[in-house]
Amino acid sequence: MTALISSNPLTAPPVARRQPGARQRSTRLGSVFAPLVAIVVLVAIWQIASWASPLRADLFPSPVMVFQKLPALLADGSLVSATAISLWRALSGYVIAVLIATPIALILAHWAALRRGLGPLVSAMQVLPSIAWVPAAIILFGLSDATIYTVLLLGAIPSIINGLLSGVDMIPPQYRALSQVLGASRWQHIIHVELPAALPGYVGGLRQGWAFAWRSLMAAELIAVGGSLAPGIGSLLQRGRDLADLPLVMLVILSILLVGILIELLIFAPLERRLLQNRGLARAGEEKSG
């Protein structure tokens, strides 16, 4: 925050509008470039290790072997269709999770007694690995989409609830005083002050909720295979295991990573950056890590 004082304060001082300068562009480039370098180094180490390793090549495939497998996997369409199926499940399940979690969080934020009762439970659910739900869901719903969505929702909802709750908790108390002196009703306070003030925390929760949704989905797909279930990426992983096809397993793991990271980079990172910039909380081009 800059306090600019001009000789005549009643005329406009120069506004601190930041021009996207060369320096910022280079830091932005660096934030893409640095991870790329890290990946290249890691792959190189992997390659050298596979040369040096006494293990049989099928037990410790080199990166070259793994990527040689890629064209065939793309050609028969199984990787693409599995990714599409999983991505659809993840996104639709995630939207449902957001729609369920948001009102629950708002109720908890405004009902202290309920929060004292349920708050610890929600936090505990966030700690519980969602793979633990899979057997119960299979017993209840069999090998169906309902099983997959149940696990995904149980994984994502608690973290979105906690994100919104912590966003509300972090609202500066003077905003409440402001609402009060402006004569806002409880609802007006929630709509005009509380929700927008909680937005950064909420988006943080949404971001974490996405990570939980995607992980839970993989856990569910890995175990719940067959039945009426369309094969997602998780079941492709299971197939790799059945065939003892380590290159296939590695490729699927990389795809899972790639999808998670792409959603993060394309949706959440820009959303969070825009939000913070909008409030003067982050410099243009500054990357928020985490």
Partner 1 sequence: MSIELNEVSLSYGGDELVLDSISTQIHDGEFVAVLGASGCGKSSLLNVIAGLLPPSDGWLQVPDDGAAFMFQDANLLPWLTAAANIELALKLCDYPAGQRAARVRQLLELVQLDHAGDRKPHELSGGMRQRVALARSLAQDRQVLLMDEPFAALDAITRDMLHEQLHSLWAATGKTIVFVTHNVREAIRLAERILVLSSRPGRIIEIRRISDTLRNDPAHSVALADELTTILRREQMKNDRVDQL
Helices (H) and strands (E) counted in the chain, each on its own, are 13, 0
CA 46 to chain centre: 27
Q: Establish if 170 lies at the interface with partner 1 (CB under 8 A).
A: no
Q: Taking contact as CB under 8 A, which single stretch among the options 128-136, 174-182, 204-212, 213-221 is the one that binds partner 1?
A: 174-182
Angle at the Cα of 281 from the Cα atoms of 270 and 2, rounded to 5 degrees: 135
Segment interacting with partner 1 (CB under 8 A) among 36-44, 237-245, 252-260, 276-284: 276-284
Q: What gap in Å lies between CA 138 and CA 223, rounded to an integer?
A: 9
Looking at beta carbons, which pairs linking 31-34 to residues 24 or more positions away fall under 8 Å? Answer: 31/287
* Tokens at 121, concatenated: 């439970």
Residue 173 engages partner 1 in binding (rule: CB under 8 A): no
175 counts as binding partner 1 under rule CB under 8 A: yes
Chain centroid to CA 117:
27
The binder of partner 1 chosen from 274, 279, 283, 288 (CB under 8 A): 279
Identity of the residue, 165 or 197, whose beta carbon is nearer to partner 1 in the bound complex:
197
Per-residue burial over 24-34, b = 16 or more CB atoms within 10 Å of its CB, e = otherwise = eeeeeeeeeee
Closer to partner 1 by Cβ: residue 6 or 27? 6
**Of 186-215, which residues contact partner 1 (CB under 8 A)?**
188, 192-193, 196-197, 199
From the list 20, 280, 284, 288, which residue makes contact with partner 1 (rule: CB under 8 A)? 280
Find tokens 């659910």 and name the residue.
125
Angle among Cα 129, 247, 233 to the nearest 5 degrees reads 45
In the list 103, 278, 284, 288, the residue contacting partner 1 (rule: CB under 8 A) is 278
Q: How far is CA 163 from CA 202, 257, 266, in A?
A: 5, 23, 20
- Nearer to partner 1 by Cβ, of 12 and 36: the residue is 12
2 in contact with partner 1 (CB under 8 A): yes
User: Stretches 64-72, 113-121, 171-179, 228-236: which one binds partner 1 (CB under 8 A)?
Assistant: 171-179
Residue ranges that bind partner 1, judged by CB under 8 A: 1-10, 12-13, 15-17, 174-175, 177-184, 188, 192-193, 196-197, 199, 278-281
